């Protein structure tokens, strides 16, 4: 059958257009997107097999037409055991001595990106149920190894022990335990009341110890104050004594200097007046001269044992 050239050209053009359109469609459907805070596990829609190596982060990726993504969260998620809405029921167990125990707790976990294929192979998309079961079994087992009083006296140790064991078990399930918090501990009311009373007694004992220490410190301060005041008085007394001694020594030296100056001046005056006087006569001379200088002083001559009478107030 002979096809005209014109018709043949039209057929080629149609085939070319069809090929281009088909390529565009294939190109369009060969891209897939992984949303933010998600991992994408690449799977084949024909064989239903998923890649054991390719785990994609957020973004647009070339996956070919027969492949698609199964999504897993990449952000941190929380599982809680409490009486809150949408939370799992609190965990009930017993302490090491057999007392009933109810635990309220929460923990945060994150999937390990490189192990998402193994996680999917083990749990499909029901991994959170597996994590809840692991947490319940692990926490109940660890909780039963501690005595009731340790939940009060060693609570940080109890919390850390639970977190450490939960971290190990979640790692086996291809997840990481980021944070663990023991929210509340419920023990029998009678036991809690006995613990409260014990704590009150301990607080009272500590209060008395603090009061005794405060009293002791106040007494020591009072002794130090007394010793300090005594030392201050001693220092002041010594200072006053030394000051008085210095003052008297200064006055004595001053009087001595004045006396020596007067003696020198009178001696010089006697020499200048050519007075031939011995020591006793010079002393009498100085004595009478000082009397003459005083106001209202009278000298009586010719009377035994009386040399002068001073009628002044000085």
**pLDDT at residue 20, as a whole number:** 64
**pLDDT at residue 90, as a whole number:** 95
Sequence ranges of the domains in the chain? 77-195, 278-314
Q: State the Cα–Cα distance between residues 7 and 11, nearest whole angstrom.
A: 6
pLDDT at 143 over 90: yes
Using the Cα atoms of residue 248, residue 250, residue 251 and residue 252 in order, give the sign of their dihedral: positive
CATH topology (fold) of 77-195 = Tetrahydropterin Synthase; Chain A (3.30.479)
| pLDDT tens, residue by residue, 180-197 | 999 999 988 877 677 777
Q: State the Cα–Cα distance between residues 111 and 120, nearest whole angstrom.
A: 11
| pLDDT tens, residue by residue, 66-92 | 788 899 999 999 999 999 998 999 999
| pLDDT tens, residue by residue, 2-48 | 566 666 666 667 777 766 665 566 555 667 888 889 999 988 888 77
Whether the Cβ atoms of residue 5 and residue 38 lie closer than 8 Å to each other: no
């Amino acid at each position: 059958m002979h096809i005209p050239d014109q018709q043949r050209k039209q057929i080629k053009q149609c085939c070319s257009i069809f090929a281009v359109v088909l390529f565009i469609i294939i190109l369009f459907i060969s891209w897939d997107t992984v949303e933010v805070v998600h991992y994408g596990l690449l799977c084949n829609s024909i064989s239903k097999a998923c890649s054991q190596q390719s785990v994609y982060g957020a973004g647009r990726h070339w996956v070919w037409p027969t492949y698609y993504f199964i999504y897993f969260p990449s952000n941190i998620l929380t599982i809680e055991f409490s009486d809150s809405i949408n939370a799992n029921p609190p965990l009930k167990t017993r302490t090491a001595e057999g007392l009933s125990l109810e635990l309220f707790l929460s923990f945060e976990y994150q999937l390990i990106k490189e192990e998402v294929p193994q996680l999917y192979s083990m749990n499909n998309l029901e991994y959170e149920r597996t994590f809840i079961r692991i947490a319940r079994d692990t926490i109940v087992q660890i909780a039963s190894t501690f005595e009731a009083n340790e939940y009060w006296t060693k609570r940080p140790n109890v919390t850390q022990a639970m977190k450490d064991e939960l971290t190990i078990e979640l790692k086996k399930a291809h997840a990481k335990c980021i944070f663990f918090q023991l929210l509340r501990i419920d023990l029998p009311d009678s036991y809690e009341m006995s613990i409260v009373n014990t704590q009150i007694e301990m607080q009272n004992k500590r209060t008395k110890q603090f009061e005794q220490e405060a009293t002791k410190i106040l007494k020591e301060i009072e002794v130090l104050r007394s010793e300090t005041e005594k030392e201050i008085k001693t220092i002041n007394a010594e200072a006053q004594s030394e000051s008085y001694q210095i003052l008297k020594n200064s006055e004595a030296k001053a009087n001595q200097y004045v006396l020596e100056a007067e003696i020198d001046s009178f001696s010089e005056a006697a020499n200048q007046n050519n007075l031939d006087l011995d020591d006793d006569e010079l002393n009498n001379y100085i004595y009478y001269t000082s009397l003459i200088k005083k106001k209202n002083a009278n000298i009586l001559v010719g009377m035994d044992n009386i040399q002068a009478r001073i009628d002044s107030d000085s």
